[in-house]
Amino acid sequence: MPRHITLRVVAAAEAGPGIRRLTLQDPDGWRLPRVRPGAHLDLQVPGVGPRAYSLCGDPAEEDRWVIAVRREATSRGGSAWLHEALRPGDMVASAMPRCTFPLEEAATHHVMIAGGIGVTPFLSMAPMLERAGRSWVLHVLHRGGPPPCGDDLAPWAALGRVVLHDTLSAPRPDLATLLGPHRAGIQAYCCGPPAMLEGFAAATIAWPAGAARMEHFVPPALPPDPDARPYLLVRAATGESVEVAAGESMLAALRRMGANVDSSCEGGICGACEIRWLEGEPIHRDLVLPAARRATHLMACVAHCASARLVVEA
């Protein structure tokens, strides 16, 4: 289970239209754990639960974590609280950072495409890539006005590393053109709204497995699985078991048995409810676990089971 820590809000500032940047530090000034570029925090929103936000600060700055959050008109409570309730000096609880959208260390060229506030994970990748002398470019698509986190992007734009595309004043660029053809050593990344991710997936459909990575804002709708079947779910820690109905949430079944499994998106995109499975044949329906990890772990919020019995560590 993730270990929760307390953080203090030490600064809050506007980072573009409807975007608020928050700087978080340890209340006693201790160094924070090292994070990987592309990582995110699950902040505990009072009365709502955990909500995930990408870290957008330089990972080399170990005395602070920075997030930038857009105020959503259809907020589930998280962005409204971060914009309207939190003030410098306030304390927030957070799980330890997780990275489900990592840099590919072996790549020789990185092509990143962001839609609006989807720029945030790339703001942590850029300084790491630049210090390492890597080849990279970030395309930021935004609709009118200043771009999101414009002050952070300006130095990279001056160097030609960041290319801004205002889709209000010019046609939306073709993603396949921005990416170019696949060649050895290229790694592509995309974070943005669903339509952009669908276009990115289509543009990279013929690329080798793993050469293109996406991070979602919100979980995509999962259609019912017509082949879903009931199974017996067993907790290895206690030996307890429960019958899970066809198509029922494994996460809900675990909670019926009293398992304290963390969760956030409950749609297979954040990684919060990752647990180890020991026996059986899980059906993976998440969008974050790499193939090798699926041999030992699953995401309880969306996973199903193809066997009559599944044993998990929870």
The DSSP secondary structure of 36-64, one letter per residue, reads -TT-EEEEEETTTEEEEEEB-S-TT-TT-
CA neighbor of 95 nearest in space, from 170, 159, 4, 19: 4
What is the band of 77 on the pLDDT scale with cuts at 50, 70, 90? Answer: confident
**Is the predicted pLDDT of residue 312 greater than 80, yes or no?**
yes
Dihedral sign from CA coordinates of 29, 22, 121, 93: positive
- Distance separating alpha carbons of residues 246 and 252, to the nearest angstrom: 13
What pLDDT, in 10s, does the model give residues 165-223?
A: 999 999 999 999 999 999 999 999 999 999 999 999 999 999 999 999 999 988 888 88
- Distance separating alpha carbons of residues 272 and 261, to the nearest angstrom: 8
DSSP state of 273: T
What CATH architecture does domain 231-313 belong to? Answer: Roll (3.10)
What pLDDT, in 10s, does the model give residues 91-124?
A: 999 999 999 999 999 999 999 999 999 999 999 9
Are the C-beta atoms of residues 52 and 40 closer than 8 Å to each other?
yes
What is the band of 3 on the pLDDT scale with cuts at 50, 70, 90? Answer: low
Q: What is the pLDDT of residue 1?
A: 44
User: Which structure tokens are listed for 201?
Assistant: 């997936």
Every domain of the chain and the residues it spans:
4-95, 109-216, 231-313
Q: What is the pTM of this model?
A: 0.89
CATH class of 109-216: alpha beta
**Is the predicted pLDDT of residue 2 greater than 70, yes or no?**
no
Q: Matching CATH topology for 109-216 and 231-313?
A: no
Q: How many CB atoms lie within 10 A of CB 69?
A: 26
**Chain centroid to CA 233:** 28
CATH code for the structural domain at 4-95: 2.40.30.10
- Distance separating alpha carbons of residues 189 and 113, to the nearest angstrom: 6
Q: What is the pLDDT of residue 220?
A: 84
Q: How many CB atoms lie within 10 A of CB 158?
A: 9
DSSP state of 288: S
Dihedral sign from CA coordinates of 79, 84, 88, 94: negative
Give the pLDDT mean for 53-69: 96
Residue 286: partners with Cβ closer than 8 Å, 6 or more residues away: 268, 269, 298, 299, 301, 302, 303
What is the band of 4 on the pLDDT scale with cuts at 50, 70, 90? Answer: confident
CA neighbor of 305 nearest in space, from 242, 230, 234, 239: 230
- Distance separating alpha carbons of residues 272 and 291, to the nearest angstrom: 18
Q: What is the pLDDT of residue 76?
A: 67
Are the C-beta atoms of residues 153 and 68 closer than 8 Å to each other?
no
Q: What is the pLDDT of residue 75?
A: 65
Are the C-beta atoms of residues 54 and 97 closer than 8 Å to each other?
no
Edge-first strand order for the sheet with 241-244 is: 241-244, 231-235, 309-313, 274-279, 297-299
Are the C-beta atoms of residues 274 and 298 closer than 8 Å to each other?
yes
What pLDDT, in 10s, does the model give residues 123-140?
A: 999 999 999 999 999 999
